[in-house]
Amino acid sequence: MSSMIIGVAGGTGSGKSTFTDRLKREFGDRISVIYYDNYYRRRDDIPFEERKNLNYDHPDAFETDLLVEHLAALKHGETVECPVYDFTVHNRSDKTVLIKPSDVMIVEGILVLSEKRLRDMFDIKIYVEADADERILRRVIRDVKERGRDVEGIARQYLSTVKPMHYMYVEPTKALADIVINSGKNDVAFDMIRLKINDILSGGR
């Protein structure tokens, strides 16, 4: 099966999920979306209080081998069982979600462009950027509302790992992107990618 794979990267709170979700709403089941966050390593070996303090913004935090394996299987027309990560407990849940192969697949996550094996699988590499103050504010709102975090814990994690890892591993991947957009709500970029996906789904390439 010949599939186009689009990688969408960017810092925490940059708008990459907003951009990806817009495309998913536009095309529905005609495209598949894989979230790199679901490939955080399972850490049953350490208790919750210790898991809270792990560095989740380093490339080693992800089971990239499994994602590469899944993408290869999808490109060959196979359905895969994607893990599901539970941010409220800082660990994978026991659930999985079936991802079906499609002509267009989107892989989204902060570090999807930092791993060469992934970059080599992407036909289009997108980096979504935003002002640092905007990103941390969005993260605070999201983590409190959706992930059961407290502001003090968010601030501690941001200063100890998120911020330094962003400048060490995430920001440099902007130079590796084919397209850099300044917001997940950038309509010009959205229309450009939407037209490209439409072309693929209608039989072009």
* Residue recorded with tokens 């080599």: 120
Average pLDDT of the residues in 173-202? 92
Which strands, in side-by-side order, build the sheet including 31-35? 31-35, 104-108, 4-10, 124-128, 179-181
Mean pLDDT (whole number) for 74-91 = 94
Residue 142's pLDDT is: 77
Which of the pair, 141 or 119, is modelled with greater confidence? 119
Local confidence band at 10 (pLDDT 50, 70, 90 cut-offs): very high
pLDDT score, position 130: 76
Q: Which domains does the chain have, with CATH numbers?
A: 4-196 (3.40.50.300)
The one-character DSSP state at 176 is G
pLDDT value at 202 more than 80: yes
CA distance 115 to 109: 11
Q: How many angstroms separate the CA atoms of 179 and 23, rounded? A: 16
- For the four alpha carbons of 66, 108, 153 and 88, in that order, the dihedral sign comes to negative
CA distance 43 to 85: 11
Q: Which pLDDT belongs to residue 170?
A: 93
Mean pLDDT taken over the chain: 90
CB neighbours of 201 closer than 8 A, spacing ≥ 6? 27, 30, 31, 103, 104
What's the confidence (pLDDT) of residue 204?
Answer: 59
Q: Which tokens is 107 given? A: 């892989």
At residue 145 the predicted structure's pLDDT band, cuts being 50, 70 and 90, is confident
Please give the pLDDT value at position 141.
Answer: 79
State the pairing for strand pair 124-128/179-181.
parallel
What pLDDT score does 1 carry?
54
Q: What percent of the chain has pLDDT over 90?
A: 67
- pTM value? 0.89
How is 121-136 classified by DSSP, letter by letter?
Answer: T-SEEEEE---HHHHH
pLDDT at 205 over 60: no
Contact status, residue 187 vs residue 135, Cβ threshold 8 Å: no
How many other C-beta atoms are found inside a 10 Å radius of the C-beta of residue 69?
12
Does 63 have pLDDT greater than 90?
yes
- Spatial CB neighbours of 167, under 8 Å, sequence gap ≥ 6: none
